[in-house]
Structure 1
């Protein structure tokens, strides 16, 4: 006897003639950005076109402060926003945005960047933007964050639309207190499609809110690092083969390279340090080669002697220099001269702030001026060691530099250039 449950089961049973749905093909990964930058960018361009081309803004206007921030930010700050991952992204994003604000302010306010950018050819713009996209992808936490950035398309960045390069730079400058460094406020780029994508109801789980907030921060991080990369590529004449070589993932490749390098004779090092090595094994007084029974200065534990007689003979001269770096002589300890307070009415430019930051490094007594060449890498001018620049800069140069940092006096800047 057929029961209703049995009849329902037979009705729901698939027919033998019914073909199963074809499995959904997985999206292929993007090409290697280091070896084929053009194909890598085309992959992202196609994905962004597929994802955002059919988007139409919702009829109701999104209230960013009352809706989006109250739902996803303020409620979330009391809970999972304190997670280590989000806090780390926030700290890194603050630093990256400070760098972008500095570069954008310098280019737009002092270097006539907007007019010069519009005067470039389309091909040159595409070349610079592609280089910036690559550098930004290498700097941001997630390479896939670009899939949430409809602004990061070459045609859009070099065009005249709302989300072109100039407008994106002006957006962050409009919200950035450039004179109140260090930068302490997070700025998030907004786009209607992305705002709709990240919108979540107030009763959403906290894990979902945390995930969406992390994705939003990574999206802004990707845009910021890309804009920094574009400005850096614009300022520097990067070579065509500036991409790093792809990593060799073959088994035992690293061990083979290390063994090959170890088999080479370090001729350069041995020639360069042979004299220093020989001196380290000789008596400081008589220059005799030391044996196993030798003496040394118990204070600095650096200078060696072959006998007590040689140590007593060299003692008067050695006392004048022994541990001199730890003495009370102010001229013997190289320290940063410090940054004086600016004079009333004088506002330091972002370029000057960058130089002051570099001068806080250990080489501040040797370096004159730092140049940013590639992301995370700088070169600097320094005084010739043979002219007394080994331990400190000339006093008249320090005086001119201090005056230039305090008031921006052009005569002091000219004096620095003349001395350099």
Structure 2
């Protein structure tokens, strides 16, 4: 064995994380080297749970690139929550494989140049593969994609549990079923690698094997000052789940356990509201509510971290799809600007002057009605999460403010367009 090949093998066995440093991931530590070596060389199924911002997905991207080189005839099926999530990682893997360091490693190991013979947002294969099976070395899929007929030597899941699993019981059950179905596609002698962050005590992570946990205190990746800032920006329960990797009851939370429905017809002819962002760190929130004869309220919410001007087209699409009526919007700050813009886009709108304290409004109208609200399944998880995390000192309150403002309008007997069965 020549010295260059021996050096390459020693690097890949002992310190593969250095490849990450050479391709730009300078923050990877000895801990990430331990994770990466486990992904590459362990024989058993494993589940790595690490806090948010711990670079576990970066480490997984390195694994996918390196494994494709050192075990070219093994195939990997890689799953994330959605197709766009998959594309993000697959693009990163391709960049790693196209880097000078990976090209050099392949020349040292195989005395040939590394070529990507198939390279897109869902599949990667190289000229190193000599298997006659005809499958790509890496196939990336959203967790909800059909897996009929697929098989793999290694099944990798990354963040298949996310914010939506925290807010929706139906989503938690759906993810559990999807994860169970993956058990049938792993080849005999194959293995599972799961990585993620828990969001709820009953999510799919609770069913995963051989769990190793790395909380925000054990990794040393986040300073104490930064941790305190993060702690102040969210509810105790969310911080505990995402950074301490444990579940606690949020005793002080105003809003818990949202309910959902997939029957969007129930919201037709509802009233709408926009909480607009113009600058700074505020977001734009859009809400629709329709009160039913039995007193329940069917709701829909959407939130953007954008100026309201950049949200109007999407708002119009949601408004049309859900057949909403008049849109209420505050005109204190903008002197009626948003009202004019909405009218110019053909949307029915009514402006009002806001004089009520925001915390009082949310703690009165949203809190009083919360148990009666049933949200549409396609309500934005970010919107619901902002409500669940709300307190008097919350960093963001656009969604609960929009919901409370609209509920106040309904409570004061707002009229609906084409009302059938509403108030």
TM norm structure 1? 0.23
Of structures 1 and 2, the larger Rg is shown by 1
Question: More strand per residue: 1 or 2?
Answer: 2
TM norm structure 2? 0.23
